Amino acid sequence: MTTNSFGAKDTLAVGDKSYEIYRLDKVDGSKTLPFSLKVLLECLLRTEDGANITEDHINALGQWDENAEPDTEIQFTPARVIMQDFTGVPCVVDLATMREAVGSLGGDAKKINPLAPAELVIDHSVIIDVAGRPDAFEKNVEIEYGRNRERYQFLRWGQTAFDDFKVVPPGTGIVHQVNIEHLARGVMVRDDVAYPDSCVGTDSHTTMVNGLGVLGWGVGGIEAEAAMLGQPVSMLIPRVVGFKLTGEIPSGATATDVVLTITQMLREHGVVGKFVEFYGEGVASVPLANRATIGNMSPEFGSTCAIFPIDDVTLDYYRLTGRSDEQVALVEAYAKEQGLWHDASVEPRFSERLELDLSTVVPSIAGPKRPQDRIVLTDAKQQFGLDIKNYGVEGNFREVEVTPAEGAPYGLKDGAVVIASITSCTNTSNPSVMMAAALLAKNAVEKGLTVPPWVKTSLAPGSQVVTGYYDKAGMWPYLEKLGFYLVGYGCTTCIGNSGPLADEISAAVQENDLTVVSVLSGNRNFEGRINPDVKMNYLASPPLVIAYALAGTMNFDFDSDPLGTDQAGNDVFLKDIWPAPEDVESTIAASMDRDMFLKDYADVFAGDERWQSLPTPEGDIFEWDDESTYVRKPPYFEGMAKTPSPVEDIKGARVLAKLGDSVTTDHISPAGSIKADSPAGKYLQEHGIERKDFNSYGSRRGNHEVMVRGTFANIRLRNQLLDDVEGGFTRDFTHGGEQTTIYDAAQNYAEAGIPLVVLAGKEYGTGSSRDWAAKGTRLLGVKAAIAESFERIHRSNLIGMGVLPLQFPAGQNVESLGLDGTETFDIEGITALNEGTKVPKTVHVTATKADGAGTVEFDAVVRIDTPGEADYFRNDGILQYVLRSLVG
């Protein structure tokens, strides 16, 4: 119930239906707010309770000072929660565990239920084990079900045990594409109240739905669970960056090139923690698929969201994708009534402004290890020659002979493209780039071009609709001729599920330490992410993925180097096979229609025969299997009392890891394949799992025993406690500072009762919203992370797990303070959190040198930014806070 102190409650008639709405124009200043803040304002009006959300909060948003630094906390209640299976399984594991914990604290287990609609799409588990052949899709799905049977049975239990929780089965599509094509409502209706659709998701690329005018962003699984249980997301009213678009994309450039350009611009500008909103006359000419592509890359430029307002383009997309006439009419009427309809003549108040003339965009790629490192395609060969030197390749590229199981021997060189993958939500949702890739393949085949034998080619669309329009346009034969067979509907390569390289290629790379390359149409290319054999990774548009597959090497200039020769012996260059934009558009128009969407989404939650035949456990409480290596009951609530213990200062802590700048959640959180000699690999072998059945860390996220052993275990992590060592290793000061794995050292510290800290540089925790980056940190015994700066999601996730995020004083860092990581740390002043609701601005840190030769002292900034976060920290975590609230 709302206190409705602004008298905003009203009705809106659409057709023969009437809805309750909360009028934004009742709040002074609302007319010139950015679109995104209007959505937040409506939420506050609707959920105003006089305690957590007050008149003052609503006025603060209405009279938002666009030039001020954020300092007003508000509580945002998203309309729904969306998850994928990697991050969703631990959410359901935790909910199942909370059901038991509520019972043991004397509460009602059935109270643990999603209070907001929650939908989970299984899309992260398919691995490209089989590629380049007609049965690739069937084989990969078969292997996927074999590997993930326990997890899928568990999710099917969740689908039946919890109310308002739906699962989209495997082999359907990528979560974000299913979201924009089917799950997004535009306007929600519950109990006859109409309000803007909004969501938080357990994947950072949840922002893709921003292209539809739906406010949403990625949160950690920890925050998502809280949102499902009715807890609002605590946030500061953000700064909003207005991004003006003018002009149109030129021939030869693609939506991917636009997005890489915007990513570079916004990373350079600095938008971490800010909203980005697109406006201006040029917005109307940006197709919905391109808007979604841009929104998708929001985590890559670091903003919380990257949103487009609602307009006719939005409505056309809803119609195309099979939404009902009633729903489209509601979206239009509601948006126009509430001032949420895009009006190019009204320029909202923005904190900062940028502008891009789309006609200036040129073909680009990004790499070799960060999405913001854009390279203009014409400079790519020259830049590659410079970048490969950082991987130990000086002078001539080396070549080794490879003898495949079938076919003739060939030479494999440094710089060879060994993976060319059209994959990920960013681009496979966009018909313009997907059809451009198919037409480029057609032109290449007709010219007689082929792909070299060392390139592992794959195509993993974001939904079955892509297959439908490829079928109708007759494109599959050309794609398949170049090896781009359908391998699955899922994230695959972008999340490290690229699958193994051929044995002989992998052996040649490892034995000769070759520097080989992947090219993918994804959004992530961090080190060690794509494939353990591949050092350099490049993001490119789908047609450029095929172009690089044909080239077979990154050491290639498309302007001057031919891709091959035609039947008459003439050189063929990229410009000879690049499709004309009008051909792309006319092919799409002739091969894509509303009926495809209606057919593919008619029974989207039902699943195929494999899914329906899975034996499913029953009952409100899950029966844990002690033998399971996929789904285990986590220890977060063991020994938990009804009231929290007082917060304590940290005494005698040791450094588990000393890390540099831009350490990502990929470096921290377990991801990719599990090595046999790693702590996680040894654990699985001890439990009777053969190496071939290890599966990936992502698939085992429901087992904390595997995940804690894989935390900080990335093969490219550099822990500066050690010299020139890569991987999950540290010095163990309980054993004289000897080198050991981070997990084993943490176990020894725990046994000795020694708390741990992590030291880090700038932008600690950039990347995906990985809850295990925080959960694993906590389970290793880390009490505090001291960094120069934090990425938004990781900082809040640490608090959600009871780990204290601290920042070095402005202008100071590990080096300037003379810390080498061998010190013992005392952190005093944390206990101030026990006194009332105030959060101390700083705490005092004393680092005592190992040899007793003096101390380093400084006041670290406490990065608990809101009262809500302080409550979570006092309770030792967000889930404990929610549990106590429900029982209380």
Q: What is the pLDDT of residues 244-268, one digit of tens each?
A: 999 999 999 999 999 999 999 999 9
In a domain, 622, yes or no: no
Can you tell me the mean pLDDT for 557-577? Answer: 97
In a domain, 660, yes or no: yes
Task: Compare 822 and 225 and report the one with higher pLDDT.
Answer: 822
Quote the percentage of the chain above a pLDDT of 90: 81
How confident is residue 2, by pLDDT bands cut at 50, 70 and 90? confident
In a domain, 46, yes or no: yes
Specify the number of domains making up the chain.
3
Q: What is the DSSP string of 198-222?
A: EEEESSGGGGGGGGGT-EEEE--HH
In a domain, 153, yes or no: no
Structural domain ending residue among the three candidates 526, 558, 592: 592
In the chain the first and final C-alpha atoms are separated, in Å, by 20
Tell whether the model's pLDDT for residue 398 goes beyond 70.
yes
CB 591 within 8 A of CB 65: no
CB 622 within 8 A of CB 161: yes
CB 447 within 8 A of CB 566: yes
Q: What six digits make up the tokens of 474? A: 């007759």
CB 671 within 8 A of CB 132: no
φ/ψ of residue 129, rounded to 5: -70, -40
Q: Are residues 450 and 570 in the same domain?
A: yes
pLDDT in tens, 748-767: 999 999 999 999 999 999 87
Global confidence as pTM: 0.86
DSSP state of 354: E
CB 742 within 8 A of CB 713: yes
In a domain, 89, yes or no: no
Tell whether the model's pLDDT for residue 22 goes beyond 90.
yes
Q: What six digits make up the tokens of 722? A: 């050690």
Whole-number pLDDT of residue 865: 83
Whole-number pLDDT of residue 306: 98
How confident is residue 818, by pLDDT bands cut at 50, 70 and 90? very high
Can you tell me the mean pLDDT for 611-634? Answer: 91
Q: Are residues 520 and 434 in the same domain?
A: yes
Tell whether the model's pLDDT for residue 769 goes beyond 70.
no
Q: Are residues 546 and 470 in the same domain?
A: yes
∠85-89-94 over CA atoms, to 5°?
155
Whole-number pLDDT of residue 230: 85
Q: What pairs with residue 22 in β-bridges?
A: 9
Q: Are residues 564 and 658 in the same domain?
A: no
- CB proximity list for 51: less than 8 A, separation 6 or greater: none
In a domain, 422, yes or no: yes
* CATH code, 761: 3.20.19.10
Q: Are residues 684 and 831 in the same domain?
A: yes
How confident is residue 837, by pLDDT bands cut at 50, 70 and 90? confident
Q: Are residues 384 and 474 in the same domain?
A: yes
Most confident region among 215-219, 545-549, 637-641 by mean pLDDT: 545-549
User: For the stretch 152-166, what's the b/e string if a residue is b when 16 or more beta carbons lie within 10 angstroms of its beta carbon?
Assistant: bbbbbbbbebbeebb
Query: What is the C-alpha separation between 559 and 573, in angstroms, rounded?
Result: 7
Quote the percentage of the chain above a pLDDT of 70: 100
Q: Are residues 557 and 657 in the same domain?
A: no
Asked whether the CA dihedral 94, 674, 399, 535 is positive or negative, the reply is positive
> In this structure, which amino acid lies at residue 376?
V
Per 3-state DSSP, the chain is made up of helix, strand and coil in percentages (nearest 5) of: 40, 20, 40
Q: Are residues 560 and 654 in the same domain?
A: no
- CB proximity list for 342: less than 8 A, separation 6 or greater: 35, 279, 283, 284, 308, 309, 310, 311
Q: What is the DSSP string of 127-151?
A: --SS-SSTTHHHHHHHHHHHHHHHH
In a domain, 696, yes or no: yes
Tell whether the model's pLDDT for residue 429 goes beyond 90.
no
Tell whether the model's pLDDT for residue 852 goes beyond 90.
no
φ/ψ of residue 404, rounded to 5: -75, 165
Cβ burial, residue 845 (10 Å; 0-12/13-18/19+): buried
Most confident region among 73-87, 89-103, 108-122, 569-583 by mean pLDDT: 569-583
Q: Are residues 390 and 538 in the same domain?
A: yes
pLDDT in tens, 361-396: 999 999 999 999 999 999 999 999 999 999 999 888
Picking from 2, 3, 22, 1, the residue whose alpha carbon sits closest to that of residue 11 is 22
Picking from 323, 81, 387, the residue whose alpha carbon sits closest to that of residue 224 is 81
DSSP state of 230: T
Span of 134-138, 530-534, 833-837 with lowest mean pLDDT: 833-837
In a domain, 394, yes or no: yes
Q: Are residues 526 and 405 in the same domain?
A: yes
Can you tell me the mean pLDDT for 822-828? Answer: 97
Can you tell me the mean pLDDT for 409-415? Answer: 98
* CATH code, 566: 3.30.499.10
Whole-number pLDDT of residue 539: 96
How many CB atoms lie under 10 A from the CB of residue 247?
Answer: 14
Q: Are residues 584 and 682 in the same domain?
A: no
Q: Are residues 656 and 510 in the same domain?
A: no
Structural domain ending residue among the three candidates 549, 577, 592: 592
State which residues form the domain around 412: 366-592
